[in-house]
Amino acid sequence: MAERVPTGITELDNMLGGGFLPKRNILVTGGPGTGKTTFCMEFLYRGAEQFNEKGLFVSLEEKQDRLVDNLSQGLDWDLRKHIEGGAIVMVTVENFSWEHLADTLQAYITRHGVKRVVIDSLTLLKMNTKDPFEFRRNFIGLMGFLDNLDCTTIVTAESNFMTREKASYSLEEFIVDGVIVLYNLPIKNERRRALEILKMRGVKHSNSMFPFKITESGVVVYQEEII
């Protein structure tokens, strides 16, 4: 079997045959409250905690302290231990420029041995790039650049569709190697989170939607249940 980069989310890794393929770029997309940030941080946290792999979280919006405070509510992870120990690096890129983002990624991946990267979020990259053509050119360039480096990357994106039927896709979904869609579906009087592997190049995967919960220990996917 090809080498894998386990997400550390056991059930998802089972669904992916062990995890992501190395050096791939994955888009995690979903509406507000679907759990994108927790999902991505778990990828880094498990990397540091279980697989001895350094992670980099690049935020284009939220500052490190606030992000960690938010994540610490309800999760029993010791994130600060890994941040203070250098196994997880949190960077906020303010005054966004593509050059600064690329400089930061290049530095941490090539000189600090970072193997797992999260860029949060593509939506802000888009908002900060006035010209749509320039955005596409830079995004394609960035993905191509990351392809050549020894790291596996998750990019988050906001989506404004709540159900599968209303989904619409843009260029980004076609460029990346994998797309995982997170939903927060209205069912009766409550909402239930669900996950779908929309695309994962080189990996056989189910086309079903699976419910998941964010528990104290992180994301738990219910593989036997289908929504």
Partner 1 sequence: MMDVHCYQYLIGKDVGLEKLDGVPGLTKVDGAKVMQAQFGSVTVLVFETGEVRAFIRSSGIEKLKNALPAAGVKIMGLLQAIKAKGVEFDENAVLAAGKPMAFDYLAVKGVRPELEEVVNLDALRELVYAPYSIMPEFQLERNAVQGGENEGRKLAQGKQDKEELNSAIVKYLRDEKLGIGKVGSKADESGQSQYEIQVFTVHESAFAAGMPVVNKALCNFIRGVVRGAYVAFMELENIEVKESHCWGLGDTYCEFEMRVTPM
Nearest to partner 1 of 43, 98 (CB atom): 98
Q: Helical H runs in 73-217?
A: 79-84, 98-111, 122-127, 132-147, 171-175
Nearest to partner 1 of 97, 215 (CB atom): 97
Which residue's structure tokens are 């320039």?
A: 134
Residues 109 and 149: beta-carbon distance below 8 Å: yes
- Given candidates 90, 124, 180, 194, which one binds partner 1 under the rule CB under 8 A? 90
- Given candidates 2, 52, 73, 95, which one binds partner 1 under the rule CB under 8 A? 95
- Given candidates 10, 64, 70, 184, which one binds partner 1 under the rule CB under 8 A? 64
- Given candidates 51, 145, 161, 222, which one binds partner 1 under the rule CB under 8 A? 145
Q: Which residues pair with 118 in a beta bridge?
A: 57, 154
Please report whether residue 71 would count as binding partner 1 according to CB under 8 A.
no
Which residue in 105, 107, 54 sits closest to 82, CA to CA? 54
How many whole angstroms separate alpha carbon 18 and alpha carbon 3?
Answer: 8
Contacts with partner 1, residue ranges (CB under 8 A) = 63-64, 90-95, 97, 99-100, 102-104, 106-108, 110, 112, 137-138, 140-142, 144-145, 148
